[in-house]
Chains A and B, each alone.
Chain A
Amino acid sequence: MATAAKPDQDGLSETPETVVVRFAGDSGDGMQLTGGQFTLSTALAGNDLATFPDFPAEIRAPQGTLFGVSAFQINFGSRRINTAGDAPDVLVAMNPAALKTNIAALKPGGLVIADTGAFTKRNLDKAHYDANPLEDGSLGKFDVLAFDISEKTIEAVKPFGLGNKDALRSKNMWTLGLALWMFDRDRAPLHDWLKAKFRTKPDIAAANIAALDAGHAYGETAELAGPLKQLHVGPVASEPGLYRTVTGAEAVSLGLVAGAQLAELPMFFGGYPITPASAILHHLARLKEYGVTTFQAEDEIAAVCAAIGASYAGQLGVTSSSGPGIALKTEAIGLGIMTELPLVIVNSQRGGPSTGLPTKTEQSDLYQAVYGRNGDAPMPVIAARSPSDAFEVAIEACRIAVQYMTPVMLLTDGYIANAAEPWKVPDPAGFEPFPAKFLEEPRGEQLLPYLRDEKGARPWIKPGTPGMMHRIGGIEKHEQTGNIDYSPDNHQRMTEHRKSKVENIAVPDQEVALGETTGTLAVVGWGSTYGPIHQAVRRSTAKGCSVSHIHVRHIWPLPKNLGELLRGFDHVLVPEMNTGQFKTVLRDQFLIDAQPLTKTSGQPFQIAELEAAIAKYFDGIEGNEGGEVAVNNQQLPNLEAGHDDGSYPDAPFHGDGAVPSGQETDSEAVNQ
């Protein structure tokens, strides 16, 4: 097998440092589940990893079609992994459509594993292939391992008396078995998982285990026969401790639960279904014993309003949505700002404007978060940089909301929400509590609900407290009594109070994520661009470039030292998945010449794209820096597949695990 034999850049050595595998198949082939379980086995093997699940917007896209292709990419290795990988080394294609939409991404010399059983005339037609690509030589620059997985699966599960249709549902487990063999993985955890999943249906569990084992056995046989070789990816050196995988949606949910506990408050979560934010509602709905009330409201507005009502009544109000839903919540967020009540708003950003790209990622809601309200309505904004980082950021959002009596917006995006990475499980004993305080007696003779503390925060007074009755509302109010007051000087002072309260929020000083604190180029990112920027800066530094990576968590207010820090660099480059929104904020706040590098294709940055952009600062050619990254059709999300209609097959919640999965139906087989 040439792939395993070639030690050059195009192929893989037998002990590669990192490997990128992409599983692609029909929506019904269970690729998300395969990817999820492969992720788990990768984590258990001690590798670092990052994933990119990409699935069509259609719940049940027609079988075999290009737009019905579902893909899952994983990058894993024996060193730190920050991205899901630019291009796969191995592509598993379960049908012609999956091959067609993903083959262009595969590295030259990469390995294609294809199920010939699915390359029927009918499926080839649906994928618009005139000839069978497995036979016409068009895959010449790759190594191809094509055989009838369908037939082998049917054979493997025959003893369990399943019909062909049901038997074929275990095809993904067969494939997973082969992948496990290929990377020398332990099958036992998968056996356990299957047994647990089909606790009440032992026959189905046994059939799937048989398929998994058969795939594994096939690897051994194939190796003996020649082409396929086992690859060994060593474990990454990590801090000792307990680890699990976590998606951004899970991490946000857990962080909110932790934040509410640290504030010593019950949590009220008002939500309305929207892609890609619904997963947070789903996770929290199962955590009632943690003092969490989830409320699926009639619309986005009601979701935030109910959260505001709950905060008013003394709980920690939280709401979550994506761009269009945030737009609907905007007036109510203004009410939260005006009445100065704690509120956490999670925005899992997606491509916009309007319905935009529901299942694709973008960072284009930064203006909306920072500036997007009527009136002078300042609000803190913080952003998570990775799935696991979202945990800490969610706690930070709760802390700011409670301590400063203000709505806080937490920005994640579609990529962070769905992607998984290993996470060292933190010990809650190490978290700093920030217990909420309620005012129960007037300070002085008169009750003054808007008299501020040293942080600029007004007191939190729960209705039901004897003798503390007062009225609040969206109308401008007197700066101490809170009674309606439209007078010019009062409004001016109240505007100033609201502004300075948010500006003076204690934000940690900005640190440099990688590199020196001064130099030629600072690459400044925020949110999910952390991974690719970090790797690109690492590689550029290795080539001798004077470049540093600065990644900003606190978008508003910005860290006080950020302007000074950026002035220590000759150039500032801001890569963003939008048309340059954070760049504008940096220019506005610090009057520095920040240059944008933009990408608005609904795909995350690739390391190579950023490396190329950084290189322009060191090529001696004046004025070609910054700019726009061209659309890359080889990258996930694949532009040929997965056209959106606004709906979304959300990852179902698995009570038993932290593994993301894509579509799941009521069928008994694992692959659906």
Chain B
Amino acid sequence: MNAPVKIETTLKDWETDQEVRWCPGCGDYAILKAVQRTLPQLGANPANTVFISGIGCSSRFPYYMETYGFHTIHGRAPAVATGVKLANPDLDIWLVTGDGDGLSIGGNHLMHVLRRNVNMQIMLFNNEIYGLTKGQASPTSREGTKSPSSPLGSVDHPAKPAAFALGSGARFVARGFDVSKKLPEVLTAAHAHQGAAFIEIFQNCIVYNKDVFDDFAAPKGAEDRQLWLENGEPMLFAGGTKGIALEQGRLGLTVVDVTDGDWETAGVLRHDVTDRILAHMLVEMPFGPFPMALGVLYDDPRPTFESAVIEERRRASEGKTANLAKLLGQGQTWTVDGTAQDPV
């Protein structure tokens, strides 16, 4: 990918003339604004930016972005985006999906776009419910979620999007939530990452799954329940009075008290975004006994799929010319007068 030229824009430049049609109070509004605020800061070029989505509430996102946009079919956005990126690696692609679109019908494609490491930002809006089809339980719904399709409460175990991404081979995994002021920071880090950058964004569905993330996202007591990760910094929360340390005697994390800011004595770990093992532990950290790990959990780039494809094509074409006449006449040929030709 060529180094993109930075463009000066304002938030307004990224808004379309289309009326936004999410329910009043939907978390999607906040995410839309966060994205529209972030892109000018990145110096992004609207003409070079493509938003690609699947189906669902979140997937209406491209219609509200004054960029190129492709609202595809249910679950298939990662596959479409892979084709777009391979055809034009210079495009800056943002993929918008949800918990149903990305983890249920499109789980296979999400796995493979992460595994291949196609350079794009993947925003998975997780509201733990099917919104656009009127409130059925989704693959991230908690056990016991009552919905039209699970009136007695859902019985299946929820998937963990960040764990799924990490398990699929993602080299960037982050978390944020819709109304968080830190969301633009997370988006900026994702954009800076060369490769598939996966961002799970907890999003409040005001109609079908209202306030389901309040236990950690509500402003009151947020300090005690949110662990915002900073690379190289100690993993502290609750105003620096608690931290995350390694458990003694077994491989695991534990919450420790920190007295007088002496986190080193308390054994608090520094966050290392390149530590894959730590990332696995952070995404698996059960909320309740632990705070919710937010921010950049993992960021360790490696060569992208499209760069490998381009390089392969370059090597394969080296010293060869695209001569169609020669190609058609390849192999063992003959002329009608019966003279056999040597194999070309």
Give A residues with C-beta under 8 Å from B: 40, 43-46, 186, 188-189, 192-193, 196, 235, 238-245, 254, 257-258, 261, 266, 268, 270, 286-291, 293, 295, 297-299, 301-303, 305-315, 317, 331-332, 334-335, 339, 425-429, 462-475, 483-484, 654, 656-659
Q: Is the CB of B73 within 8 A of A428?
A: no
Q: Is the CB of B343 within 8 A of A192?
A: yes
Cβ-closest chain A residue relative to B18? A483
Q: In the docked arrangement, what's the CA distance between A551 and B112, Å?
A: 44
Residues of B within 8 A of A426 (CB): 328
Residues of A within 8 A of B334 (CB): 43-44, 46, 242-244
Residues of B within 8 A of A656 (CB): 331-332, 343
Q: Mark B98-116, 1 if CB is under 8 A from A, else 0.
A: 0000000000110110000
Query: Could you pull out 27 A-B pairs where Cβ atoms are within 8 angstroms?
Result: A188-B340, A242-B333, A258-B328, A268-B86, A289-B321, A295-B83, A298-B109, A302-B112, A305-B79, A305-B109, A308-B83, A309-B80, A310-B84, A311-B83, A314-B88, A331-B73, A427-B325, A463-B47, A463-B48, A463-B68, A466-B47, A468-B47, A469-B46, A469-B47, A474-B72, A475-B71, A656-B331
Q: Mark B3-34, 1 if CB is under 8 A from A, else 0.
A: 00000000000001010000000000000000
Which of B52, B63, B73, B333 is A332 in contact with, Cβ under 8 Å? Answer: B73
Residues of B within 8 A of A334 (CB): 73
Residues of A within 8 A of B62 (CB): 471, 473
Which of A40, A258, A291 is B332 in contact with, Cβ under 8 Å? Answer: A40
Q: Is the CB of B69 within 8 A of A241?
A: no
Q: In the docked arrangement, what's the CA distance between A310 and B81, Å?
A: 8
Q: In the docked arrangement, what's the CA distance between A670 and B95, Å?
A: 50
In this assembly, does B277 line the interface, its C-beta being within 8 Å of a C-beta of chain A?
no
In this assembly, does B70 line the interface, its C-beta being within 8 Å of a C-beta of chain A?
yes
Give residues of chain B (320-344) contacting chain A, Cβ–Cβ below 8 Å. Answer: 320-322, 324-325, 327-338, 340-343
Q: Is the CB of B333 within 8 A of A425?
A: yes
Q: In the docked arrangement, what's the CA distance between A409 and B189, Å?
A: 43
Q: In the docked arrangement, what's the CA distance between A507 and B109, Å?
A: 38
Residues of B within 8 A of A429 (CB): 325
B237-245, B280-288, B309-317: which lies at the A interface?
A: B309-317
Q: Is the CB of B47 within 8 A of A464?
A: yes
Which of A286, A306, A469 is B66 in contact with, Cβ under 8 Å? Answer: A469
Which of B91, B111, B316, B335 is A288 in contact with, Cβ under 8 Å? Answer: B316
Q: In the docked arrangement, what's the CA distance between A308 and B16, Å?
A: 25
Cβ-closest chain B residue relative to A474? B73
Q: In the docked arrangement, what's the CA distance between A338 and B63, Å?
A: 16
Residues of A within 8 A of B48 (CB): 463-464
Question: Secondary structure at chain B's binding surface: helix, strand, loop or mixed?
Answer: mixed
Q: How large is the interface on B (under 10, 10 to 19, 20 to 34, 35 or more residues)?
A: 35 or more
Name the residue in B68, B84, B87 with the highest tally of chain A Cβ atoms < 10 Å from its Cβ.
B87
In this assembly, does B271 line the interface, its C-beta being within 8 Å of a C-beta of chain A?
no
Which of A238, A261, A315, A428 is B87 in contact with, Cβ under 8 Å? Answer: A315
Within the complex, the shortest CB–CB distance from B307 to chain A, in Å, comes to: 13
Q: Is the CB of B329 within 8 A of A242?
A: yes
Q: In the docked arrangement, what's the CA distance between A281 and B337, Å?
A: 35
Residues of B within 8 A of A289 (CB): 316-317, 320-322
Residues of B within 8 A of A312 (CB): 70, 80, 83-84, 87
In this assembly, does B76 line the interface, its C-beta being within 8 Å of a C-beta of chain A?
yes
Name the residue in B18, B70, B312, B342 with the highest tally of chain A Cβ atoms < 10 Å from its Cβ.
B70
Q: Is the CB of B68 within 8 A of A470?
A: yes
Residues of A within 8 A of B108 (CB): 298-299, 302
Residues of A within 8 A of B317 (CB): 288-289
Q: Is the CB of B69 within 8 A of A484?
A: no
Within the complex, the shortest CB–CB distance from A547 to chain B, in Å, comes to: 31
> Would A313 and B87 be within 8 Å (CB), given that A288-B312, A298-B112 are in contact?
yes
Q: Is the CB of B72 within 8 A of A335?
A: yes
Which of B84, B87, B335 is A241 in contact with, Cβ under 8 Å? Answer: B335
Residues of A within 8 A of B87 (CB): 266, 268, 293, 309-315
Q: In the docked arrangement, what's the CA distance between A43 and B47, Å?
A: 55
Residues of B within 8 A of A483 (CB): 18, 63
Q: Is the CB of B336 within 8 A of A244?
A: no
Cβ-closest chain B residue relative to A471? B69
Within the complex, the shortest CB–CB distance from A9 to chain B, in Å, comes to: 29
Q: A193-B332, A302-B76, A305-B76 are in contact. List 14 more A-B contacts (CB 8 A).
A: A46-B334, A242-B341, A293-B87, A302-B79, A302-B82, A302-B109, A306-B83, A309-B83, A311-B87, A317-B83, A334-B73, A339-B70, A429-B325, A463-B47
Q: What 8 A-B pairs come out closest when comparing CB atoms?
A: A309-B83, A473-B71, A306-B83, A658-B331, A305-B79, A313-B87, A471-B69, A463-B68
Residues of A within 8 A of B69 (CB): 469-473
Q: In the docked arrangement, what's the CA distance between A243 and B337, Å?
A: 11
Interface Cβ pair total, 8 Å cutoff: 228
Q: Is the CB of B70 within 8 A of A244?
A: no
Give residues of chain B (150-205) contacting chain A, Cβ–Cβ below 8 Å. Answer: none
Q: Is the CB of A659 within 8 A of B84?
A: no
> Would A471 and B83 be within 8 Å (CB), given that A241-B336, A290-B322, A656-B331 are in contact?
no
Q: In the docked arrangement, what's the CA distance between A306 and B18, Å?
A: 28
Within the complex, the shortest CB–CB distance from A428 to chain B, in Å, comes to: 4
Residues of B within 8 A of A45 (CB): 338
> Would A306 and B79 be within 8 Å (CB), given that A471-B69, A658-B332 are in contact?
yes
Question: Secondary structure at chain A's binding surface: helix, strand, loop or mixed?
Answer: mixed
In this assembly, does B50 line the interface, its C-beta being within 8 Å of a C-beta of chain A?
yes
Residues of B within 8 A of A288 (CB): 312-313, 316-317
Q: Mark B37-60, 1 if CB is under 8 A from A, else 0.
A: 000000000111010100100000
In this assembly, does B67 line the interface, its C-beta being within 8 Å of a C-beta of chain A?
yes
Residues of A within 8 A of B340 (CB): 44, 186, 188-189
In this assembly, does B247 line the interface, its C-beta being within 8 Å of a C-beta of chain A?
no
In this assembly, does B90 line the interface, its C-beta being within 8 Å of a C-beta of chain A?
yes
> Would A657 and B70 be within 8 Å (CB), given that A313-B83, A473-B62 are in contact?
no
Name the residue in B66, B81, B336 with the highest tally of chain A Cβ atoms < 10 Å from its Cβ.
B336
Name the residue in A303, A429, A471 with the highest tally of chain B Cβ atoms < 10 Å from its Cβ.
A471
Residues of A within 8 A of B335 (CB): 240-243
Residues of B within 8 A of A307 (CB): 83
Cβ-closest chain A residue relative to B305? A295
Q: Is the CB of A243 within 8 A of B336?
A: yes
Q: In the docked arrangement, what's the CA distance between A528 and B334, Å?
A: 25
Within the complex, the shortest CB–CB distance from B147 to chain A, in Å, comes to: 25
Q: In the docked arrangement, what's the CA distance between A176 and B338, Å?
A: 21
Which of A290, A308, A317, A332 is B327 in contact with, Cβ under 8 Å? Answer: A290
Cβ-closest chain A residue relative to B67? A469
Q: Is the CB of B47 within 8 A of A293?
A: no
Q: Is the CB of B82 within 8 A of A484?
A: no
Within the complex, the shortest CB–CB distance from B322 to chain A, in Å, comes to: 5
Q: Is the CB of B320 within 8 A of A309?
A: no
Within the complex, the shortest CB–CB distance from B212 to chain A, in Å, comes to: 28
Q: In the docked arrangement, what's the CA distance between A188 and B340, Å?
A: 10
Q: Is the CB of A287 within 8 A of B325?
A: no
Within the complex, the shortest CB–CB distance from A249 to chain B, in Å, comes to: 14
Residues of B within 8 A of A254 (CB): 327-328
> Would A235 and B338 be within 8 Å (CB), given that A44-B332, A293-B313, A463-B50 are in contact?
yes
Q: Is the CB of A244 within 8 A of B333?
A: yes
Within the complex, the shortest CB–CB distance from B221 to chain A, in Å, comes to: 40
Residues of A within 8 A of B73 (CB): 305, 331-332, 334-335, 474
Which of B72, B88, B112, B312 is A473 in contact with, Cβ under 8 Å? Answer: B72
Which of B80, B88, B325, B327 is A306 in contact with, Cβ under 8 Å? Answer: B80
Q: Is the CB of B324 within 8 A of A258?
A: yes
Q: Is the CB of A244 within 8 A of B80?
A: no
Q: Is the CB of A472 within 8 A of B343?
A: no
Q: In the docked arrangement, what's the CA distance between A464 and B335, Å?
A: 48
Cβ-closest chain A residue relative to B316? A288
Cβ-closest chain B residue relative to A463? B68
Residues of B within 8 A of A466 (CB): 47
Cβ-closest chain A residue relative to B63? A471
> Would A467 and B343 be within 8 Å (CB), given that A40-B332, A309-B82, A312-B84 are in contact?
no
